[in-house]
Amino acid sequence: MKTLDASFFAGNRRAAMDKLQGGLLVIAGYTGMQKSNDEEFRFTQESNMWYLTGIEFPDWWLIMDGGSGKSWLVEPTIDERLRLFTESLAAEDAKAKSGVDTVLSRDAAMTMLRRLAKTHSLVHTVGQSPYSEHFTFALNPAIADMKTTLERTFVKVEDFRLPLARLRAIKQPVEIDAMQKAIDVTMAGLSQVKENLQSYRHEYDIDAELGYAFRKAGGTHGFDPIVASGKNATVAHYFQNNAALKKGTFVMMDVGAKLNGYPADLTRTFAYGKPTKRMASVHEAVRIMQAEIIELIKPGVSLEEYQRESDAIIKREMIKLGVMNGPDDEQAFRRHMPHALSHGLGIDVHDALGRPREFQPGMVLTVEPGVYLQDEGIGVRIEDDILVTESGKKNMSAKLSTTF
């Protein structure tokens, strides 16, 4: 089986070179970020940098010249004392991992960029996410620092995020295999939780069970897990996972193992103790809408049509539940389903699809409708990961029952 080795990253660089049409691309990997005092967050690489190099250490750069077809890695300057304290990546290992055969120092890279600027007025880079102004957290400074550096050296700097997103949106077989593995591990963890559910006493018992299952399989959590019981499940992104479980409530788990660079993203809502009739009908409504929405997905269907038809399905079920006054009751609709129905899935849990007009084979997206009844303390969400195929779609998590 083909693996995510140097040939994968080299192939990704070749595909990016084609899109560069003789142009230059210079991108910075992320820098390490402070967690507290002298402690650092566990490092996660910027996804485009990972896609093109596989490097998972901070402060590396990649330079690609579409003219010559050549790539260079740039290693960070790390003094010998620091090297004794912190794991770092040797140049030889960086070459083996990425398939890039030249590693430059920062100084040599700056000299080369100034030389390239004599023949190229334009350089491409990976800029900030277009939504980043809405984020409530600090951004990784490496991206802005690189842009500043390039603006000092070149006449014009253009963002190459969209062409890369379009490449990344169409998954290669080797990526689909990696994603299926992460999904399989996540399904196994959630099945285990379902089997043991009545023996747990707290949300954190479930959190621990899932974390154990993911680590034992060689993975990690792909994102902070959500284990939300009772009314906690009416908050879309609950994260405390500490509450005691109460009989006769739902517990909703939105989790994903990450292995080999690719995370799963699955949600199931199980009953702790015996659910009320009302809870059962809310759960059934979400199951029905989710199954119907998945059936809408196939190549050529526009995302606009998908959204419109999905909204109609969700509204129909909400009206049946008596939580919307009619199909035009947008306020109730948004209150009871405040998050996105679907998102791309890839190296990023919320992976850009590159603003496509329609579904294309190779895209992987989540389908995750929910109904959140804040006044009744009931929250239900069900999420599967769907691969768009030539003939329609494949539900990659179909083996995990959606029942409570």
Residues that bind Mn ion (CB under 5 A): 265, 366
Query: Shortest distance, CB of residue 206 to Mn ion, whole angstroms?
Result: 18
Name which of 46 and 265 has its Cβ closer to Mn ion.
265
Query: Shortest distance, CB of residue 340 to Mn ion, whole angstroms?
Result: 8
Query: Shortest distance, CB of residue 383 to Mn ion, whole angstroms?
Result: 5
Name which of 265 and 348 has its Cβ closer to Mn ion.
265
Alpha carbon distance 344, 351 (integer Å):
5
CA distances for 354 relative to 162, 213, 307, angstroms: 6, 33, 17
Query: Shortest distance, CB of residue 381 to Mn ion, whole angstroms?
Result: 9
Name which of 9 and 262 has its Cβ closer to Mn ion.
262
Query: Shortest distance, CB of residue 205 to Mn ion, whole angstroms?
Result: 23
CA atoms within 13 A on the CB side of 14: 7
Alpha carbon distance 326, 308 (integer Å):
16
Alpha carbon distance 238, 249 (integer Å):
16
Strands (E), 266-325: 266-272
Label each residue of 199-226 as H, E or C: HCCEHHHHHHHHHHHHHHCCCEECCCCE
Name which of 98 and 186 has its Cβ closer to Mn ion.
186
Name which of 147 and 168 has its Cβ closer to Mn ion.
168
Name which of 207 and 265 has its Cβ closer to Mn ion.
265
Find out whether 379 and 234 touch, Cβ atoms under 8 Å: yes
List the beta bridge partners of residue 393.
Answer: 388
Query: Shortest distance, CB of residue 164 to Mn ion, whole angstroms?
Result: 21
Structure tokens, 214: 């993911």
Find out whether 382 and 286 touch, Cβ atoms under 8 Å: yes
Find out whether 253 and 173 touch, Cβ atoms under 8 Å: no
Distance of CA 27 to the CA centre of its chain: 20
Phi-psi sector, 273: left (phi>0), alpha (psi -120 to 50), beta:
left
Q: Enumerate helices (H) and strands (E) in the chain, giving the number of each.
A: 12, 19
Query: Shortest distance, CB of residue 343 to Mn ion, whole angstroms?
Result: 6
Query: Shortest distance, CB of residue 145 to Mn ion, whole angstroms?
Result: 31
Find out whether 113 and 105 touch, Cβ atoms under 8 Å: no
CA distances for 206 relative to 76, 181, 192, 203, 303, angstroms: 40, 21, 10, 5, 35
Name which of 184 and 265 has its Cβ closer to Mn ion.
265
Name which of 15 and 349 has its Cβ closer to Mn ion.
349
Query: Shortest distance, CB of residue 265 to Mn ion, whole angstroms?
Result: 4
Name which of 170 and 349 has its Cβ closer to Mn ion.
349
